[in-house]
Structure 1
């Protein structure tokens, strides 16, 4: 734990041709004492400099970005990152999105509402996906990976296995793993 709360900045650009300099200047002008700079796609969930920033912040610290899209690509990604920040007892502030400031009651309220909406959306998607899978199964659609063996190959492999031939030898013959042969059933 740190004694004096610190303001950290996180600046990110998507491609090597872009520069984080403008973001860094804005963050420093807003009070960031240390800025973590990164060139990585926002779609990439494992960003090394962001991970380092999240590891370094502590209770009372603030992580600041110039805009929310510099921190996260999706609502879920944003909320997961904000949860990590909150677990450390730190705050979050976006310079371009004044409502996204967990250091104020209004900002916490807005992010809580967004979190509730995102959770509601995830539940709707989960329900629709489940319903779609059930309809597809009812129509006889096979779910999951295709079988590596044809029905004739399965029959032949079962006959050999039941005759006592080692599963590894059978698997080698059909170019599959021995566990595929072990799991075979009628």
Structure 2
């Protein structure tokens, strides 16, 4: 069975492009999630790995969707191969573990290292650019997601302030408004509400 895996880092990002590519590549079932790749708490990835059977193929749009680092990719490939399954990437054509030849193994190792190097260089350039912008007084940092004009945050604060009348707990409020508990408490603190 061909099993697809799609991931974006935040709730506000869209999976449609990946889903379309995976379906066109023959994915019969697609595991999908909206969670940062930096965390190992990727429930759908874990579920997919548990449900892998011998002969299955895992397909991803590109390797950054499934792995956080070269080391993480190597561990995932070993786990997938230990189950008798294989891994393919649509974008990274070199990532195809269905061929067990020494040449394929060598190419996989080299290209995985190159991909990691590319990610590290991007991070370095980004850090250098931020440092220069800070020196020139032009760096303002990341735009806050939950600012004072954010409707969801304002609604959550309103519900929190009226919780004695509406009977909602903080947990119920964050579920209803789809904001994080930390964002709610940060918003309250910024407004001087304890």
**TM-score between the two structures when normalised by the length of structure 1:** 0.56
Q: How far does residue 95 in structure 1 lie from its aligned partner after superposition?
A: 0.4
Residues 1:37 and 2:32 aligned together? yes
Q: Aligned to 1:80, which of 72, 75, 97? A: 75
Match of 2:61 among 66, 83, 86: 66
Cα separation, 1, equivalents of 2:18 and 2:104: 22
Output aligned runs, 1:161-172, within 5 Å: none
1:112 to partner: Cα distance: 4.6
**Greater shift after overlay, 22-31 or 104-113?**
104-113
Deviations 1:98-137 (A, max 9, x none): 001001345433225568x7xxxxxxxxxxxxxxxxxxxx
Flag structure 1 segments of 5+ consecutive residues without an equivalent.
1-5, 118-186
Matched residue, 2:22: 27
Match of 1:52 in 2: 47
Q: Distance in 2 between matches of 1:45 and 1:111?
A: 22
- Partners of 1:14 and 1:39 within 8 A in 2: yes
Contact 1:8–1:63, Cα closer than 8 Å, also in 2: yes
Aligned residues: 112
Secondary structure class of the residue paired with 1:24: helix
Q: Distance in 2 between matches of 1:53 and 1:108?
A: 23
For the 8 Å contact 2:94–2:111, the answer to whether it is kept is: no
Show the counterpart of 2:180. none
Partner of 1:13: 8
- Kept in 1, the 8 Å contact 2:4–2:28? The answer is yes
Larger C-alpha radius of gyration, 1 or 2?
1
